[in-house]
Structures are given as C-alpha cells and as structure tokens.
A and B are shown apart, each in its own frame.
Chain A
C-alpha cells in the first residue's frame, strides 16, 4: 500500500461527497415533475414521447398498476433485444458480418441486460454487431437504470404520502429519468471519454501491420456512447470482453476516475433525494453514512490484500514503490496499479455495476472474498441506481423493526407505523436473494457434467467461481470470476432465470411495501420513536446489513475463499 494510493482514495471520496447534494436536489426536482434548467429544451420532447406512446401523464397508478406497467415494459423490451440479437446478421451496422446470436446465449443476454445485470457469457468483439450493442444492449442500460430509479422514487412516495392509493406514474418516471438525467449526462460524459481516447465510430475493424511484421486486427465501434451509460446506469456490460480494463474502454487514470465516480454518483445522490423528499435530510445523510462505512471497510481490505506479495513466487520485485505498484499484478493494468484496481473492484461490487478494470478471478483469495461479499450484502452499499436505495430502505425498515422489538413498541418509520405486512414484504425481499443463490450453486456443484465442467480453476477457488456467478446474477451485478465458462446451455438458461428472479421477484415486494405505506396515516413522533438519523441509527443499520447479509453466506465463504487463503498460505496450489 502506498501513500499515493490512499491519497487517490481520499480524493475520490471528497469529489463524490461534493456531488451528493446537487445531484440529489436535481433528481428530486426531475422526479417531482418540477422545472429544471433543461425544461425549456426538453419539455417538448417529453410531451412528444407521451403522445407517441399513448401515455396519459396525469394518471396516477396504484402499486399493482405500477408493477404491471414495469413488468409489461420489461417483457416487451426483453423480447425486442432477443429479436435483434437473433436477426443481427440481416440488420444494418454489422460491418464484420457477425452471425446471428444463438438462442440460449441470446436469452441469457436479453435477460441480463433487461435486469441491469449485464452478465456476459460471450466475447462481444466477435459476437455482437454494432446495432445489437447500440439498439439492443445499450438501450437496456438506459431502461433498466430508469426502472430502478422509478421504483426507488415510488417507494419514497409511499413513505411520504399519507392515506393515498397511488405511488406515481411509471411511464412518466421512466421518461423524465431518461430525458432529464441519463441522456444529457451520458452525452457530455461520452464526449469526455472520447477526449481521453475512447473510440466512437461505426467503422469495420482495422488491420494493423505491427513493427515486427505481424498482423493485428483491432476491434472498433461506438464504444464511448455505450461506456457512458454503462457506468452511469450501474449496468457494467462491456463493449469489449475485457470491459473497463480494455484500453479502448478506459484509456487513462482520469477516465478511470470518471468511471468510478459515475458508478456511485446517482446512488449517492438518491440518498439526498430521500432526505429531501421525506423532509428529513438527517435521515438521508445517516443512510449515506452507513453506505460509506461499508465502502471504506471494503476498500481497505481489498487494497491491503492485493498489495501483498504472492507467497510462493520468488525472485520478483513484489513490493510497492514510487515507480512500480508491486503486489498482485496478475489481471491488472499498469496504468491503474493496485490501488485503483482495488478501488474500482470495491466500487463496482458495492454498486451493482459489474464493470471491471481488473480480473476478479485473479484477485487474491481475501480480495476476491470481499468483492463477493459486497454483492452478498444485497447490493445496498450505494447499490445499483435506484435499486441500491430501495434495497437499503428494506434494511432500514428491518432495523426500525428490530429497534422496536428491543424497546417493545410498535416501530415507526418517518411517521408511518411499520406493521406485519411491511415486515413480511421486507423479509421476502431479504430471503429470496440467498435462497436462489445458494440453491442454484448447490445444484451446479452436484453435477460434474453441466456444473463443474465449466470451471477454470480447481480446489476451493472452483466453488468460489460458481458461487460468484450466481451471486452476481441474482444481485444483478454482472461481474464475474470469468474463468468459469458460462456459455453453456445450463449456465445460460439458469443464470438468465436467476437474473430475472433477482430483479423482479425482489422488486414486487418493494412496490407492495410502497403501496401499503402510502395508504397509512401519519403518526406524529413521540418520545418513544426510534430516531432514523444520527450515528446510533447508522451503526444499527450497518449491523443489520452485516448480520443478515454476511452471516447468511458465511458457511459458503468459509468453504471457498477462506479455505483457499489458508491453503495458499500453507503452500498448497491446485
């Protein structure tokens, strides 16, 4: 670990904190339908979208209508993506003449991008045409991000409204999020990335004749436009196989800083939106503080683990110096070194982004365990755009409930009584997650032919590869221990369903909770009300997240990365 590494971490945190308030205020204005500085320009386009799609923007929806609209839209857009993939050989923007994508891969990819997961079982450079990348995959980077924000704002409305049957209009929330937030931000961001060296063209691949008289085919494409929304929407699906480690996706340390900031900027801002819209700014900051504690602890551990020398390698300079990062450089890029690889890995798994600038399969056992655990906590440490906020609010409800049990009072949250139905919905959300992950991992491990045959690494690390795949899928993260060959019918089909389960089975209880909260009367706070701001609340929230998230998975982790770490220390390799 170096002083410069810590300095870069501190810089990252400072810039992020500075964005929380302005971003949170802007999001609140957009989602409450208020005027913003972009309104004069964009309002006519917004009206046109409603007109063309037949949306009545004034119609409020109850939670069931909201959920049906979300499911209907997700279903239709999933089918469109599947269709474009299957027909890409007949469609334009395919200069490499790539063949149609096979049915099981097209399914897993369509499910993957619809659910904000962006798990990729394929090498994009030789699989996906430019049209598929732009109109079938990057579209979902916008759609799924906007869906996540829509559900988060619906839940905030549920908390805020009293004796109301409705939680907003899904189409309006989608349209305004995309039009006023995601599209303009991506446009500017994409051009910044091009300025750093990210390509943006529709040309065929370039044939280069190298200095040593060999040929090198250089993949091209509309990379920057996809890269921007891939990060900003916490999607993470790479334009290239190597994702954000590829010099074309992430050419400089500055582009790397931008990418890391753009993962957290909306999830962090939404905590401020929460505080502002519910009239309790202290609560927003307390939630953000809990996220920050878990984030900083994760980074510290990964950075420490990755800076360690490999115990079995001799004769190499493995110590970090001013001119060489040292440590574990397998699967890392020189321009990022150990510190910025560890930071990116922590951020991308805290948020359900899943873009990588380092290969997670080659992380040290403990570094890999922390990034896996970040996902296992439920993608609530900042989390996916919107999904992180509604995820952590579920844990907030449970924290308030547990605090209520301790003092023997009916728990309240921001003036709403938390009753049996609310706790049931929250527990449903919390239980569906490990249930799918652990069941599917167990089934895969039991089968040598369809499960274990895809492994790249043996020993405890093999278990971690499979566990990571299902955790990443259900957590809608999308990063991978990529040695696992997931492009088989078993993994494609099952991971596809796991991603859909991890998204929609968890999202419906959230909307049900929103609907139920919206109906309730507001009760004034009393001396017995547990305050949801301040450090005691933050500590309780962190504790609940760790106990529910980490302890559920501890047995699996002890058989995977913990065992691997101990065996490697003892000199055992596989």
Chain B
C-alpha cells in the first residue's frame, strides 16, 4: 500500500500540470488570436477601405449640397405619394426601418400572408386595370430594405406617375428605361430598377 502511494503522486501531478498547461495555453492563445483577428484584421480593412472606397465604405449615402443625408443608394425608403414610384412592401420594423431589417417570415400556407397579398393585388389592380400586378410589388422582400423593383413593376406604376405629375407616358417610360440596370456583366442576377434613384430623376425632371 505504502509503495503504491509513493508512485501515485508523480502521475497525478503530471496530469495536473498537463491540464494546467492546456488552460494556460488556451488563455494565452485566445488573447493573442483575438488581438490579431478581432481587432487587427477589421481595423486594417477599415483603414484601407476608407482610403480606397470612401463613399462605399460609408454606406453609399446620398447627400444634398448642404450635407443633409437623403438616404442610401442601397436601401429602400418609404414612398407613399402618388407622385413617386413605390418600393416593395417592407416588413422591416414598422416599414423600411434600417435598424430592424428582416422579412415577414410568413409561411406560404399562412392565411395572413394570402389575405395580405390578395388585398394588395386588389388595391393595385384598381390603379391600373387590365394588367396583372407584378408579384414583387405585393410581396415583402427578405431584408425589408430591397432598393429595387422589377422593370415590370416600374412600368406598372407609370400611368399613376404620369397622371400625378402631368407627364407624357413616353417620358415616364423613357425614364424607367434609363434607370433599368440589366443583369450584372450581362448574366448575373435579375434586371432591376432602383426606386430611390428613379424618384430622384423624377424630381430633377420637375425642376
């Protein structure tokens, strides 16, 4: 008995020191690696981005000459007036909330979703009778901040804009055409119209 207990301690202390060293290394490695990839890396990217792409790194903000920010080129904002093209409906916060991005998360089998979409279709159909409503105009986007609508959805709204602004149909159609972005590199994604950019052009036309 005596002899086994004299053998045991070194084995135990070796195990203890091995586990000590795992903890010590874990703590030191965590701190070193956090400094490298948690602060060093993002701050270096921030620095380089600020020099190379200051506008984009800052959120692609659209500013008036006095410095007031109107919005971001990349984010939808609310438009309800007949004089403006409307973006897709938004489920971000109370609508177009750029601090609460997100979708409706309603299932295809949700009565609330079917009722909402059908309600919007019936309302829009009255605005432009005889034309089926583009589906993107009555569905909420994933982010709630989708800046784009399809060219079909822009053309669908054209008669309303022409009437409210006393413009010719051809003039509005031309403006939509100019503001339609094709597939990137002719292949990627879908053709689209940036609503805020289009509305800014509309306002320029008025002046």
Q: Contact at B30–A80, with CB atoms within 8 Å?
A: yes
**Chain B residues whose CB sits within 8 angstroms of the CB of A323 once the complex forms:** 150-152, 191
Nearest-neighbor residue (CB-CB) of B120 within chain A: A316
The verdict on B158 contacting chain A, using a C-beta distance below 8 Å, is no
> What is the CB-to-nearest-CB distance from B9 to chain A, in angstroms, rounded to a whole number?
21
**Chain A residues whose CB sits within 8 angstroms of the CB of B183 once the complex forms:** 4, 253
**Chain A residues whose CB sits within 8 angstroms of the CB of B141 once the complex forms:** 245, 331-334
Q: Contact at B26–A201, with CB atoms within 8 Å?
A: no
How many chain B residues sit at the interface, stated as a range, is: 35 or more
The verdict on B4 contacting chain A, using a C-beta distance below 8 Å, is no
The verdict on B188 contacting chain A, using a C-beta distance below 8 Å, is yes
CA distance A69 to B21 in the complex (A): 9
Nearest-neighbor residue (CB-CB) of B142 within chain A: A245
The verdict on A317 contacting chain B, using a C-beta distance below 8 Å, is yes
Q: Contact at A206–B59, with CB atoms within 8 Å?
A: yes
Interface pick from A296-304, A443-451, A455-463: A455-463
Q: Contact at A334–B149, with CB atoms within 8 Å?
A: yes
The verdict on B44 contacting chain A, using a C-beta distance below 8 Å, is yes
The verdict on A479 contacting chain B, using a C-beta distance below 8 Å, is no
A134-B38, A191-B52, A200-B45 given; A8·B187 CB < 8 A: yes
Interface pick from A208-216, A383-391, A392-400, A512-520: A208-216
**What are the interface flags for B63-86 relative to A under an 8 Å C-beta threshold, 1 for contact and 0 otherwise?**
000001111111101111100100
A134-B42, A316-B121 given; A242·B142 CB < 8 A: yes
Q: Contact at A334–B53, with CB atoms within 8 Å?
A: no
> What is the CB-to-nearest-CB distance from A310 to chain B, in angstroms, rounded to a whole number?
6
25 contacts between A and B (CB under 8 A): A4-B183, A72-B25, A76-B30, A178-B37, A187-B41, A191-B45, A191-B48, A194-B52, A197-B74, A200-B57, A208-B69, A216-B75, A245-B103, A246-B143, A253-B188, A312-B114, A321-B152, A323-B191, A330-B117, A332-B142, A334-B148, A334-B149, A340-B188, A364-B108, A365-B107
Interface residues of A (CB under 8 A from B): 4, 7-8, 11, 49, 52-55, 65, 68-69, 72-73, 75-77, 80, 123, 125-126, 134-136, 138-139, 142-143, 171, 174, 178, 182-183, 186-187, 190-191, 194-203, 205-212, 214, 216-220, 222, 224-226, 229, 240-242, 245-248, 251-254, 256-257, 310, 312-318, 321-337, 340-341, 356-359, 361-365, 456-461, 481-483, 564, 567-568, 572-574
Nearest 8 CB-CB pairs, A to B?
A: A253-B189, A245-B142, A483-B105, A135-B38, A242-B101, A253-B188, A359-B103, A337-B190
Interface residues of B (CB under 8 A from A): 18-19, 21-30, 32-34, 36-39, 41-42, 44-46, 48-50, 52-53, 56-61, 68-75, 77-81, 84, 88, 92, 96-111, 113-114, 117-118, 121-122, 125, 132-136, 138-153, 183-185, 187-192, 196, 199-200, 203
